[in-house]
């Protein structure tokens, strides 16, 4: 009711609308998985440089996972390529990065990639939502469109 509530009411539907047009959870989980793996391996750069390319791959893979997760969120049109690359990178982190961030990051990454792969735009609303809509008087237009 106060002025502080108003922007929130404006932002939340906007966010819902934004979320509806992209594989939100898929991208988010993949990005979180990459971030988590990076957190588990904050080795000093000096040691990484000593070990060389093999050590750098341990940072490259989760870094790319993070990037692909964000790309899925902000460029969902290319989600197939991003999610297939994402699942391969997630599986690769098992070898390169602390067993995929002690398994947690790997699971997040694979789950996120699968959700992004399985996501399709413009789906019929869920049954629960349709039932709720039928209770309202103005449901005719929505159903004929389907």
CB 84 within 8 A of CB 76: no
Q: How many CB atoms lie within 10 A of CB 36?
A: 21
Nearer to another protein, 67 or 122 (CB): 122
91 binds another protein (CB under 8 A): yes
d(CA 21, CA 123): 10
d(CA 77, CA 2): 39
d(CA 3, CA 58): 49
d(CA 82, CA 133): 35
87 binds another protein (CB under 8 A): yes
127 binds another protein (CB under 8 A): no
78 binds another protein (CB under 8 A): no
Give the shortest CB-114-to-another protein separation in angstroms.
4
114 binds another protein (CB under 8 A): yes
Binding site for another protein (CB under 8 A): 6-7, 9-10, 12-14, 16-17, 20-23, 25-26, 40-44, 47-48, 50-51, 54-55, 57-58, 76, 83-84, 87, 90-91, 94-99, 102-103, 106, 110, 113-115, 117-126, 133, 136, 138, 141-142, 145
């Amino acid at each position: 009711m106060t002025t502080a509530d108003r922007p929130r009411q404006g932002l939340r539907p906007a966010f819902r609308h934004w979320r509806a047009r992209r594989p939100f959870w898929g991208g988010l989980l993949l990005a979180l998985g990459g971030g988590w793996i990076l957190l588990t391996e904050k080795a000093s750069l000096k040691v990484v440089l000593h070990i060389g390319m093999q050590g750098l791959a341990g940072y490259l893979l989760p870094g790319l996972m993070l990037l692909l997760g964000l790309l899925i969120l902000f460029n969902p049109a290319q989600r197939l390529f991003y999610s297939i690359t994402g699942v391969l990178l997630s599986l690769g982190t098992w070898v390169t990065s602390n067993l995929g961030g002690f398994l947690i990051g790997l699971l997040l990454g694979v789950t996120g990639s699968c959700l992004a792969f399985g996501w399709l735009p413009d789906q019929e609303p869920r049954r629960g939502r349709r039932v709720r809509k039928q209770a309202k008087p103005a449901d005719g237009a929505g159903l004929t469109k389907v």
